[in-house]
């Protein structure tokens, strides 16, 4: 199921490789975030790619345009299939990321990665967003950031499943929407630190291009079995 991405939020590269191997052929890719990347570095990403996994490198770059461009250039060198930045970094930063992704891929003779932007973290609710100085409703803020990302030349965004339908309406069918915050029967009912959640099939019906599931799969006694349950639910939406 290409739409299902599994977050490898584990302590070691060995465990990440074990999970990726167990899930290969069943899921659409794996996500490497800050925890694992800080522990294991780009070599792990290259190893996952060489072993046949599509890797979403979830480092949420957010800095001045030149620094982000350099980071994206380095990320492309790992072979990552998808890379993200923070939309709140602004249009010039996102434009620099888009250019760097295209240029690095051309230089290395490989397909350009999918460059996407994080809108509002799924751990944030309306009071939390308001405390940062943003007064408009979350859904309005998310859609506005998605429009900026699209205008800057990025191919998609990360947003909670609750905003997916509005983004799809605003940005069209060709715009990728990656949704974490997936919970429900097959994906596990605990919210943990997620504030804005939805079930797997419900998120896809709302217009998600990809859903990201971590703990409900990787913490399960049999991760592949847990992933298979989610795939069965997703197949019912087709």
Task: Identify the CA nearest to 148 among candidates 118, 128, 191, 169.
Answer: 118
Kindly report the CA angle at 111 between 173 and 37, in degrees rounded to 5? 95
- List of E strands, 48-194: 55-61, 82-86, 114-118, 156-158, 176-179
Active-site annotation holds for 191: no
Contact 8, 47 (CB under 8 A): no
CA distance 91 to 145: 10
Contact 157, 177 (CB under 8 A): yes
- Residues annotated as catalytic (active site), given as ranges: 60
């Amino acid at each position: 199921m290409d739409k299902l991405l599994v977050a490898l939020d584990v302590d070691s590269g060995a465990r990440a490789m074990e999970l990726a191997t167990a899930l290969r052929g069943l899921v659409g890719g794996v996500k490497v975030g800050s925890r694992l990347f800080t522990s294991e570095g780009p070599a792990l990403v290259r190893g996952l790619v060489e072993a046949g996994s599509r890797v979403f490198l979830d480092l949420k770059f957010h800095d001045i345009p030149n620094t982000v461009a350099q980071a994206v250039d380095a990320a492309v060198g790992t072979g990552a299939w998808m890379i993200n930045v923070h939309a709140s970094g602004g249009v010039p930063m996102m434009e620099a990321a888009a250019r760097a992704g295209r240029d690095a891929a051309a230089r290395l003779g490989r397909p350009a990665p999918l460059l996407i932007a994080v809108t509002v973290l799924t751990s944030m609710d309306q009071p939390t967003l308001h405390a940062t100085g943003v007064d408009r409703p979350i859904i309005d803020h998310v859609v506005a950031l998605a429009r900026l990302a699209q205008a800057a030349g990025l191919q998609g965004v990360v947003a909670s499943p609750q905003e997916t339908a509005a983004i799809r309406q605003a940005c069209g069918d060709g715009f990728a929407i990656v949704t974490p915050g997936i919970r429900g029967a097959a994906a596990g009912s605990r919210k943990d630190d997620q504030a804005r959640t939805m079930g797997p099939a419900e998120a896809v019906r709302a217009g998600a291009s990809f859903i990201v599931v971590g703990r409900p799969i990787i913490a399960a006694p049999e991760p592949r079995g847990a992933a298979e349950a989610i795939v069965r639910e997703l197949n019912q939406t087709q």
